[in-house]
Amino acid sequence: MGGHGHGDVASDIVIECLASITDTEAWSDPGGSLVTQFERANSRVRDRARQLGSPGMGATAVALVVRQALASVAWVGDCRAYLCRRGALRLLTRDHTLVQDLMDQGEISSEEAALHPESHVVTRAIGGGPRVEVDVVRVPLFAEDWLLLCSDGLTGCLYEERMVMALTTPMSPQDVCRQLLADALEVGAPDNVSVIAVHMRGA
């Protein structure tokens, strides 16, 4: 979580918790298993923050489980998940940020949000409070769909058109990630950039 200490420690804790999900858990309750591990990570991050004397320590995250062509996406904060189908990009998540709340209330426009002085302020984070509220969406998938999970370091500096260009150019998921990272660095990448691409290949 930018602007606070030990964000790398918080992120590592989230990754460790998510990596502990078993195949059985992912199969029986994919969305629930993600929520459980986000809640576990929240407790561990808060415990570690007390040990380090870093009360602002936290992380934002988005995670995905695919089971039988159904995607379960869970997130906290301003990391995002997109679905790209036949060249059309759809945002699956809703940012947990101050500016998103203001937009939802009709107080500012999307153009004003991009320039808002508090655009970096998140309203939910892993480690941000005794309890963490996790949102989950489920989306059916079809052959040739792409899923893109990313941090705000990517969405903060690349237009969606550039993201679609990478996802619709014949490349492997690894090369898509490399291309998007290169694109973000080319325009300055003012924040950390994390990207995961998933391709639902046809038969």
Check whether residue 58 and residue 106 sit in a common domain: no
Task: Give the mean model confidence (pLDDT) for residues 24-38.
Answer: 96
Kindly report the CATH number assigned to the domain that includes residue 117. 3.60.40.10
Same domain for 15 and 103? no
pLDDT tens digits for range 52-72: 988 889 999 999 999 999 999
Question: Do residue 131 and residue 187 come from a single domain?
Answer: no
Q: Judge if 20 and 46 occupy the same domain.
A: yes
Average pLDDT, the chain: 91
Cα Rg of the chain (Å, integer): 17
The predicted structure's pLDDT at residue 187: 87
Percent of the chain, pLDDT > 90? 72
pLDDT score, position 1: 63
- pLDDT computed for residue 105 by the predictor: 87
Indicate whether 42 and 137 sit together in one domain.
yes
Same-domain check for residues 129 and 68: yes
Strands 195-199 and 146-150: antiparallel
Instruction: Look at residue 121 in the predicted model and tell me its pLDDT.
Output: 85
Number of domains in the chain: 2
Q: What is the pLDDT of residues 82-111, one digit of tens each?
A: 999 999 999 999 999 888 888 888 888 877
Confidence at residue 67, expressed as pLDDT on a 0 to 100 scale: 93
Choose one of 87, 108, 141: the last residue of a domain: 141
Section 121-132 average pLDDT:
93
More confident residue, 196 or 189: 196
**What pLDDT is attached to residue 111?**
72
Cα separation, 81 vs 155, in Å, equals 11
Q: Please indicate, yes or no, whether residues 92 and 184 belong to a single structural domain of this protein.
A: yes
Which of 97, 113, 141 is the C-terminal boundary of a domain? 141
Q: Are residues 24 and 95 in the same domain?
A: no
Residues 161, 61, single domain; the answer is no
Q: Are 69 and 161 members of one domain?
A: no
Q: SS3 string of 90-106? A: EECCCCCEHHHHHHHCC
Q: What is the largest CA-CA distance in the chain?
A: 53
Structural domain harbouring 158 = 79-123+142-203
Which residues is 199 bridged to in the sheet?
A: 146
Residue linked to tokens 């415990």: 47
If asked whether residues 62 and 88 sit together in one domain, one would say no
Q: Are both 64 and 155 inside the same structural domain?
A: no
Q: Is the pLDDT of residue 197 over 70?
A: yes
- Which of 11-20, 64-73, 160-169, 188-197 comes out lowest in average pLDDT? 188-197
